[in-house]
């Protein structure tokens, strides 16, 4: 599969799987804004949005990462399942780094 195909597939799979989670921190409507997969398929950055605060949502998704990654792996049937990282849709992965460490 090409990276773009994997990104679309992960987005579809996660949209369904997140809706099945029973964590109260996850709102009824969660939108997968975009998925970015590295060239070696080792990492998938998933950008999500919802109405309200994104902090509890990201925390809940990170807690459910193992289950979501397992379901993604079963559906994709790739040799290597990307590790999922969740971010708020407006966030950059570089925002997590302390000042001066991003290059």
Question: Would you state the pLDDT for residue 77?
Answer: 84
Could you tell me the two tokens for 101? 């460490």
Range of the domain at 78: 3-90
- Residue 14, SS3 per DSSP: helix
Question: Could you give the C-alpha distances from 78 to 15, 20, 41, 53, 82, in angstroms and in order?
Answer: 19, 23, 9, 34, 9
CA triplet 42, 55, 50: central angle to 5 degrees? 85
Average pLDDT estimate for 79-95? 79
Distance CA 23, CA 29 (A): 13
CATH number for 7:
3.30.300.20
Tell me the average pLDDT of the chain.
85
**Number of structural domains found in the chain:** 1
Task: Give the pTM.
Answer: 0.81
Residue 100 lies in a domain: no
């Amino acid at each position: 599969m090409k990276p773009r195909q994997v990104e679309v597939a992960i987005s579809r799979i996660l949209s369904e799987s997140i809706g099945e989670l029973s964590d109260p921190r996850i709102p009824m409507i969660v939108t997968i804004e975009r998925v970015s997969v590295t060239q070696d398929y080792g990492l998938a950055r998933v950008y999500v949005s919802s109405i309200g605060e994104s902090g509890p949502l990201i925390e809940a998704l990170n807690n459910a990462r193992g289950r979501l990654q397992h379901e993604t792996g079963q559906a994709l049937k790739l040799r290597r399942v990307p590790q999922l990282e969740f971010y708020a849709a407006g966030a950059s992965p570089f925002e997590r780094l302390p000042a001066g460490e991003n290059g």
